[in-house]
Structure 1
Amino acid sequence: MNTADVDALLSPAGRALLTELAGTTDADPVALAARLRRAGHDPALAALATTQSRLRARAAAKFGERAAGLLFTATGAEQATRAVVAREHARRFAAAGVQRVADLGCGVGADSLAFLDAGLAVLPVDADPVTAAVAEHNLGVPVRCEDVTAGVVDELGPGDSAWFDPARRTSGGRRVFDPEATSPPLSFVLGTAARVPATGAKLAPGLPHELVPAGAEAQWTSVDGEVVECALWCGPLAVPGTGRSARVVRGDAHGVTAHELDDTDLPVAEVGAVGGYLHEPDGAVIRAGLVGRVAADLGGRLVDETIAYVTTDAAVSSPLVRSFRVLDVLPFGLKGLRAHLRSLDVGPLTVKKRGTAVDPDQLRKQLGLKGSRPATIVLTRVAARQSVLVVDPLS
C-alpha cells in the first residue's frame, strides 16, 4: 500500500465500498471478487478495500467496534497497542499532569487515540509516509512524517511528555531483540528522558532487568495470558519506589479486570516439597521477577529455586496464576512414565515444561499412548531433579 492507495480508500467511492464490504470477511474471496466485478467496481480499488476490510476485522480484537472506522496497514494492525493497554498508558500520562504527549513512532495511532480520549493533546510522529497518512485519518489531527530522532524532541517544552514505540523489526521483517538495535534505540529513549522527565516507552517483554534505570519503573503487561509489552516509565510517570511491576489484564463476558503487583519489599521465596496443588504464575509476573511475591501471597513455596512454579498444600485461587491439582510426582524416565500413563488409559496428552530441554512433540511420539483419557503432565525440576508431575487443570 502507498499514499495514493490511502487517498483512494478515503475517496467517496472507497468509503462507500468499505461500507459495502463490512461483514463480508467470511465470504469466499473468489466469489466476492466476482460479485464486485459484476457490480462495476474498479478492480484495483476493490482489492484495496477487500484487504482493508479484512484488516479491520482482524483489528477488532484490539480496538473493538472502533476498528470499523479506522484504516490499517498490515504491520500496523499486527503491532498496534491493544485499546485496553493503551488506556492504561493514557491514564499514566493524565495522572502525571502533562498537557501534551509526543507520540514518537505513533504507528496507526492506537496510543494517540487513547491519549485523545483522556483529554490530552497529541503530537503524533511516524517516519513511514503510508503509516503517517493512515494515522492522520484515524486521529483526525495532523501527523508529522519524519524520523523521531531528527529533532522533534528538542521542540518539547514544559507540559510536554514523550511516548516511544520503537520499531522492533528490520526492514526485512526480522524481529530484533537487542534494545539498542530497535528504532530508535533504548539509549535515545533514555536520553530523551533526561531532557523530558515524563517519558515512557513500549518495549519488548524480554527487556533485561539490569537495563531498567534507577528511578524508572518497568511494567510488564499481559492480556488474557499473553505478555504483550514491557512499558518503561520515567520521571513522574513511574510509581515512586517501584522498579519492576506486573499488570495482568483479563477479559470475559462481565468485562475487563486488571491486577497489579510490584517489587516493593519483595520477599524471598521459600523452596520446598511439591504439595497437593501446583500454580503457574502469569507470564507478566514471571518476566517482572515477581514469582516470590505470588508465592508469599498464596502461602506457597517454589518447587525449585530456579523454576517459576509455586506449590501449596491446600487449594488457593488467584487471577495471577493458573492452578492444577497434583495427582502424581514421578522421577523423569521414559519407561516409567510410559508405564504409568498407560496404566491410566491416557491417550491425548498435554505437555507443559519449564527447566527442561525435552521436546513435547517428540516425547508424545516416544510414549506412544493409545488410551482414551486425556491427561496433563508438567516436565520440570523439583529440588534440582528432573521430574514429571501428573496434574489436573483447575483453571
Structure 2
Amino acid sequence: MDAAELVELLTPEGLRLLDSLPAYESKDDVVKAVATLRAAGHSPALVAAVLSQSKLRARAVSKFGPFAERMLFTEAGLEQATRLGVAARHAGRFRAAGATRIVDLGCGIGADALAMAAIELTVTGVERDEVTAAVASYNLAPWPNASVVHSAAEDFDLAGYDAAWLDPARRSEKGRLRDPHDWSPSLDFAFGLAERMPVGVKLGPGIDRGLIPEDAEAQWVSVDRDVVELGVWFGALARPGIRRSALIIRSDGGSDELTAPGDSPDVEVGTLGRYIYEPDGAVIRARLIGDLARSLGATMVSDDIAWLTADAAIDTPFATRFEVIERMPLDEKHIRRELSARGIGTLEIKKRGVDIDPAAFRKRLSLRGDGTATLVLTRVAGRRVALLARRD
C-alpha cells in the first residue's frame, strides 16, 4: 500500500465502504465487487484501496482473529506481524518483569504494541516507514496508552522507557535480507540495546544460532506445529537459569514449554521400537531433543536424524507419535506393492535424512484404496528405510 492508497482509505467514506464489504472469499467476489462499487459511483482508486484491504483482512484472521475486521494492513506488515496469541505472551513477559513503559522499535503495523496496550502497559511504537506508521496509528487508536512515532529506531530517544521490544525488518523491496547488518534496525543495534535496558528481540526461527548471545534466553515458538519465531530475551526479561526454551502453543490457546539451561546432549542411537516420535520443530530448533528423549525413555533412530523411537506409547505435547506397522527397504517397487496389498489410497509422506521429493514419490506409487497411513522415509541406524506407520 502506498501513501495515495492510504489517503483514499483514511476518509469517512473510505472506512465506511471498507467496513460495509462482505468477507473476502474468492477472486470472483472481487470482480463482482469492482463492478458493483464502480456502478455506485466510487472512484477507481477508492475501490482498489478498499478491496485490497478486504483481501488483507481475510488473510489476517489467522493471526488476529476478530480483531482483523477493524484493522488496516500493509502486505509486508501483515507477513511479519506477530500472531496475537504470541504477542500476548510477549506482553505478559514485559509485565512480569515489572516494565510499565515500553518502546516498540520497528513496530510495523502495531501487533505487539496492541497486545501490550491491551494489558495496560504504556507503549510507544516507532516505525521508519511513513505509511506503515500511519497504519499502526490507526490500529492502536482505541488505546490511549499507545502511540506511534514516525522515526528510525536508531534515532529515537529512549529516555524514560523501562524496556524495549524489537522486530527487525528482514525484507526489502528486492526480497529477503540475508545479512543481519542490513536489517532495520540491524541485529547489532538490537542486541546492543541490552547493555542499556531489558530487551526482547523477535527473529526468524532459522537464524544462525552462532549469532545468539550467550547471556540471552532463546525461546523458539511453534503454533499448531508451525515454528513461527525465535524470541531472544535479555536482562529482567530473561528468566533465571533458562537459556533454551521450546514453547508449544495449541489452537485452543493452551501451551506447554520445555526449558533448559542450554542445549541438551543427544541420547544414543537405539533399536527401532514399536513407536517413533517426531519432535515439534521448536524442540528441534532449541536443541532439546535429548531432554525430550530422556523424558520418553526413547533413543535416536539414527545419528543426525531428529526422530526418536521407543516401545512405550507416552503422550507428550512436544512430539507427534506414530505406531510402526512395518519396516521396509526404501525401494519404490517394494513400497508400491505393499501399499497396494494393504489398500492404502491416502498416504502422508514424511522424510528426514534422505534426498527424496515426497510429492513426486507419491505420484509414482499409484495409490488406490480406502486405507490411510503415514510413510516415513528416513534412516535407521544409518540405513535408508521406509517405515509404514499410523498416527497414534
TM-score range, shorter chain: over 0.9
Query: Secondary structure, in 3 states, of the residue corresponding to 1:135?
Result: helix
Q: Match of 1:258, as an amino acid?
A: S
Query: Contact conserved, 2:8 with 2:45, CA < 8 A, in 1?
Result: no
Aligned residues: 386
Per the alignment, residue 283 of structure 2 pairs with 285
Superposition deviation, residue 299 in structure 1: 2.0
Counterpart selection for 1:326 from 299, 324, 341: 324
- Rounded Cα–Cα distance in structure 1 between residues aligned with 2:210 and 2:41: 60
Matched, 1:346 2:351: no
Query: Secondary structure, in 3 states, of the residue corresponding to 2:317?
Result: coil
1:367–1:35 distance in 2 versus 1, CA, 3 Å: closer
1:167–1:275 distance in 2 versus 1, CA, 3 Å: same
Matched, 1:218 2:218: yes
- Rounded Cα–Cα distance in structure 2 between residues aligned with 1:42 and 1:336: 63
Query: Contact conserved, 2:24 with 2:58, CA < 8 A, in 1?
Result: no
Query: Secondary structure, in 3 states, of the residue corresponding to 2:373?
Result: strand
Query: Contact conserved, 1:179 with 1:207, CA < 8 A, in 2?
Result: no
- Rounded Cα–Cα distance in structure 1 between residues aligned with 2:389 and 2:112: 41
Query: Secondary structure, in 3 states, of the residue corresponding to 1:41?
Result: coil
Partner deviation per Cα, 1:224-246 (whole Å, 9 max, x = no partner): 11111001101111111211111
Per the alignment, residue 137 of structure 1 pairs with 138
Per the alignment, residue 296 of structure 1 pairs with 294
Query: Secondary structure, in 3 states, of the residue corresponding to 1:200?
Result: strand
- Rounded Cα–Cα distance in structure 1 between residues aligned with 2:43 and 2:351: 53
Q: Match of 1:144, as an amino acid?
A: V
Per the alignment, residue 80 of structure 2 pairs with 79
- Rounded Cα–Cα distance in structure 1 between residues aligned with 2:238 and 2:334: 52
Q: Match of 2:81, as an amino acid?
A: A
Per the alignment, residue 244 of structure 2 pairs with 244
- Rounded Cα–Cα distance in structure 2 between residues aligned with 1:24 and 1:233: 38
- Rounded Cα–Cα distance in structure 2 between residues aligned with 1:83 and 1:216: 24
Query: Secondary structure, in 3 states, of the residue corresponding to 1:94?
Result: helix
Per the alignment, residue 148 of structure 1 pairs with 153
1:138–1:352 distance in 2 versus 1, CA, 3 Å: same
Q: Match of 2:88, as an amino acid?
A: R
Per the alignment, residue 170 of structure 1 pairs with 172
> Alignment RMSD, CA only?
2.0
Query: Contact conserved, 1:96 with 1:237, CA < 8 A, in 2?
Result: yes
- Rounded Cα–Cα distance in structure 1 between residues aligned with 2:285 and 2:182: 21
1:1-395 correspondence runs (5 A): 1-23=1-23, 25-26=25-26, 28-140=29-141, 141-149=146-154, 151-152=155-156, 155-157=157-159, 159-172=161-174, 174-196=175-197, 198-251=198-251, 255-264=252-261, 266=264, 268-370=266-368, 373-394=371-392
Superposition deviation, residue 98 in structure 1: 1.3
Moved more, 206-215 or 370-379: 370-379
- Rounded Cα–Cα distance in structure 1 between residues aligned with 2:59 and 2:184: 26
Query: Contact conserved, 2:5 with 2:45, CA < 8 A, in 1?
Result: no
- Rounded Cα–Cα distance in structure 1 between residues aligned with 2:159 and 2:292: 41
Q: Match of 1:33, as an amino acid?
A: V
Partner deviation per Cα, 1:183-226 (whole Å, 9 max, x = no partner): 22221111111222x11111010123332212201100011111
Superposition deviation, residue 348 in structure 1: 3.7
- Rounded Cα–Cα distance in structure 1 between residues aligned with 2:79 and 2:369: 40
Partner deviation per Cα, 1:272-295 (whole Å, 9 max, x = no partner): 111111111111111111111211
Moved more, 98-107 or 327-336: 327-336
Superposition deviation, residue 134 in structure 1: 0.4
Superposition deviation, residue 67 in structure 1: 1.2
- Rounded Cα–Cα distance in structure 2 between residues aligned with 1:221 and 1:177: 21
Superposition deviation, residue 25 in structure 1: 4.4
Structure 2 length normalisation: TM-score? Answer: 0.92
Query: Secondary structure, in 3 states, of the residue corresponding to 1:316?
Result: coil
Moved more, 385-394 or 267-276: 267-276
Partner deviation per Cα, 1:102-156 (whole Å, 9 max, x = no partner): 111101000000111122111211111110110011112542222212x22xx22
Structure 1 length normalisation: TM-score? Answer: 0.92
Q: Match of 1:233, as an amino acid?
A: W
Query: Contact conserved, 1:200 with 1:234, CA < 8 A, in 2?
Result: yes
- Rounded Cα–Cα distance in structure 1 between residues aligned with 2:182 and 2:381: 38
Which stretches in structure 1 are left out of the alignment for 5+ residues? none
Q: Match of 1:261, as an amino acid?
A: L
Which stretches in structure 2 are left out of the alignment for 5+ residues? none
